[in-house]
Structure formats: structure tokens, C-alpha cells
Structure 1
Amino acid sequence: MMTPIRIGTRGSALAMTQTTSVAERVGDLAESSYELVRVRTEGDVLKGSLSQIGGTGVFVAALREAVLQERCDLAVHSLKDLPTLPAPGLTLAAVPEREDVRDALCARDGLTLATLPDGARVGTGSPRRAAQLRAARPGIEVVDIRGNVDTRLGRVAGLVSGAPGDLDAVVLAAAGLRRLGREKAITELVDPAVMLPAPGQGALAVECRESESAPGLREALTSYDHGSTRLAVTAERAVLWRLEAGCSAPIGALARVQGDELALEAVVCSLDGRSILRLNRTAPVGDADAASQLGHDLADELLAAGAAGIAPLTT
């Protein structure tokens, strides 16, 4: 490829870091240079909670449009932000190997979820995290917050010098903290047994045009794709699709390849954390269609067990 690969990204520090890591690897595989194209999305402009402004899909639409309009060759997303329905004209060309899937508590004074005092104020912008926090620790106060990683860390008392420090803790994705080199802020990696992550959490998504035919690029993306990660996130996202739930619904899902089996666990929560339905299912490792079927089957079990009466599912 003679011309640089143009890779679309949001402008946040985390997005730029994630996209740069993808760009370097794809560039190496395609034996090409690259350039980053910053795209401002609705999620970067609109205020309010994610549920009010349209869910995490608001971070994706403008990037997809940039690829379709050929202003970019690729777009890099956090996979958990990607709507479950594909965009016409685009394909999910690569899912790189996943980072840590867990949620991370970043608290004052080294506190953990168990040692936070009753009445502690814990910040998150995720209904899924909020519901599971309330279930695990009914005595704490969950505060809805927005902002980038450093803004959120600054809300925790004593974590960032000169920052407001009006909260006792925040919960963020461990993967994002690691990618930004903010691991020291983590006081506890929350066990998935306590807090199941969002479908696709810790993974990245690389989209390109279905018609993309630049020499070496599609081959590079195929090589970059990580098979076990793709199977896992395919199963997780199939749960969301079958439940007709959006990215910001109080639903967690985690799949893992364990030997010759794909194990999937999912949770549906009421917003107040008082009702939680958690089920698991396994299937032989197969292709993406088999992974999707596993997700659909588990979602059907959740619905049969009353999931629709627990959480607001329809988008």
C-alpha cells in the first residue's frame, strides 16, 4: 500500500491510545504507514447520562460515517460501545486480543468494595455497574458521572492533586486504566462473580468498508483478528441482541474459551440492584455462528426465567 492507512478515532486520550496501538500493528502487518483522523462524535458533544443521550452507540455513528464517506479507511472502537446490529456497508474486520475484562474500583485510602463504609459515594456512568454495585453493597450511594478517565479519577478524594475529590470511589474498566498507564489508581479488580463486565468489555473493534480492496489491508486485518476473543465477544453480544437491549442496559455477559468449550455467563439486573438473574451455559467451540447461537440460547433462558420483568430491555 503506497498511501498511508487513514484510521478514524475519537479524540479522547483513551481513544487515541487505543487507536495508536491498533494503527501500529495494522501498519506493520500491511507494511504501510498510517495517519490518525480525529472524528468528533455525539457522545463527545452531548451532556447528560448515556441512557438520556442514546446509549454508548452515540460514540460510534460519526466514526462509521467517516469510513463510509471514505474520509477514513478504518475506524477503531471500544467493542462494548458498538451496537449489536451491523452498519450497512461496513464489516467488523478485526477484533484484537482482549485486555483485562474486569471492572476496577478506584477508591480513596486504598479501600475495596468490602471495606467502603456505608454511605460512601461511588461514581459510575454505567447502569450495569450501578445495579451490581447496589446489589453487592446496598449501603453505598451510587452517583451518576460522565467524563474521561482522568476527569473521573479526579472525582475521588485524594487521588488527583487539585481535583474536586467529592467521591469516595469510582468504577472504571480495568482495560482502559491499563492502556492509559493508570493502574496505580486501582484499589481492587472486581471479581466477575461480583460484577459481570459489559459484553465486549476489554476488547477493541476495527471496522472497514465491505468493499475495501486496498492491497494488503484486508489480509493484515484478518491476520490481526484474534479467534478466541472474537468467539467470546460474539457470544456476549448475541445475548444483548436477543434480549433487544442496548449497550447501556443493566446487563453483563462474559464468555471464555475453556479447552474445547465456550463458556458463557450473563446477568440481568433491575436498576436498583434488588433483583438479579444470573445464568450460564456452555457449548463446544465452533465458528462465529455457533458462538451466536450460544448467546441466543442463554438469552432465551433468561427471558424464560423472567428477565423482561427485571430490567428495561427494549431499546
Structure 2
Amino acid sequence: MDSFKKYLTDYQQIINEMLFSYVRDYTYPGRLQEAMLYSIEAGGKRIRPVLLLSTMEALGAQHTRGYSVACALEMIHTYSLIHDDLPAMDDDDIRRGQATNHQAFDEATAILAGDALLTLSFQVITEDVNLTSEEKVYLVRELSKASGGTGMVAGQMEDMLSENKQISIDVLKSIHVNKTGRLLSFAITAGAYLSHPSDQSLGELTKIANVLGLIFQIQDDILDVAGDAGAIGKPVGSDEVNSKSTYPKILGMEGAIKEKEQYVDIALQSLDKAGVNATSLSRLIGYLSSRDR
């Protein structure tokens, strides 16, 4: 295992243990807790929490202060996947190589498990004794904006309304800036906020935050066409089945790759200007642009 894979694996283990602890430490009805843990224990790359912690590391901050926020972010991501998979939305049967939550339990339980993870995310931030009151208010506000009706949920709504329609690349970009990009952006901006960087570094990190979701989503779209179902943990071609517009569908595969590379160039330039181009953060962004799952 190379050093960067070990870096990811070590952080994934830390985040997993903390997520399990948060869900197990509260008294939930047994079936609800079982359903919450089912999706948490399904694993995942934990990219969003690792991105937040890597940003803090790159800026020389004590990254352990970001643990609760990192876990809160992953709880919201997990809730969004549970709800995305529901029959009323993408109607998927497989997620992360196992039955989706509503298939393993039932639709009502899956909805409530997602609701419980969403609300728990804000609770763990407000109960963190290592954060000041001002930090808690800022983080809860920004996470609410990133995940709610002006962020991720807005993108999900736009995405559903665009099914079975021909849309422009600008509309597709708007969908994914919100649906995928806002939580990834929050990871960087929250990590930066807790690290108190210079104005220049903050400005460059904000530029990275603005393009990272597009890099991630374009690679996701590419993998849905050309990826390996075993590695991805879900069937390929699901976007086509659901009549979703994607970058390869609108731009062609070569055009999608070129579009992604333009955003990668922006990120690389900003990493250099922010003085964090030889850090785990820069390696993580490189990984996101070339991942195979």
C-alpha cells in the first residue's frame, strides 16, 4: 500500500469509528438505529470528511478540531444517498455493493433513517466542546445552506426536473454545482475557516472549492459509462436508464474529459498560489480527478 492510500485508509478508519460511535451513543428505536448503521457501515470513500481534514492539515491547523464537522458532513452525504436511492427518486437497488437501505429494510424506515442522520449532523456540531459558540453558529449555518434548498437539495430538484429532457451544458453545470459541489465546497471552506488562513490562501482555496464538485461529477459521469461495476459498487449505465443528462452525453466522452481537465488546471494553479501544492490536499484533488470508483 503506497503512502497516500494508507493516508486515506487511516482517515477513513478514524471517521468510520467516530460515525459508529455517534449513532450508537444515542438511544434510537432499535430498527431505526439498525437502518442508520446499515448505511454508515456500508463504508464509502469518506472523501468529504477527509477533504475537510486535509485542508486543515495543509494550512497547518490542528485538524482534530474538525472531526465532529467532518462526521456531520458525512452524515448528510449518507442521508442524501439513502434518499437518492428511493423509488420516488433514482429507484436504485444497489449502493456500495449491497442492497440499498429501502431494499434492506423498507421505504418508510429508509426515509426516517435519512432524516435521523440529517438532524444528528447538526447535533454533533453543537455538542462539540472543542468549538466556540461563534464557530458552531457559522458551521451549522453554512452546512445548512450547502445541504438544503439553496444547495444540494436544490440540485437534486433540478436534476429530477431535467430527466427525459435535453438540457444545455450550463444547466447541467448548475445542477452539479449544487447537487455534488456544495458539500465538497463546504469541506474546503469549513476546513479553511477553522484554520484561519491568509486572505490570499482563502481566496485560492475558495476557487478550488468552486470547481471541485464539477471535477468530481464529471469523473462520476465518465465512470457511469466506462467504469467497472465491481469497483464502483453500483451498476454502470444507471444515468442512461434514468434518462439523466451527463457530461459524456452532452459533450461526448472526449469533450467530458477535456472539460474536467480545464477544471483540474484551475485547481492546480490555485493550489500553487495558496502554497499548498505539495500536501495531502493536492494529492487528494489529484485522486478525485482520476479515481476509478
Same fold by TM-score greater than 0.5: no
More strand by share: 1
TM-score normalised to structure 1 length: 0.27
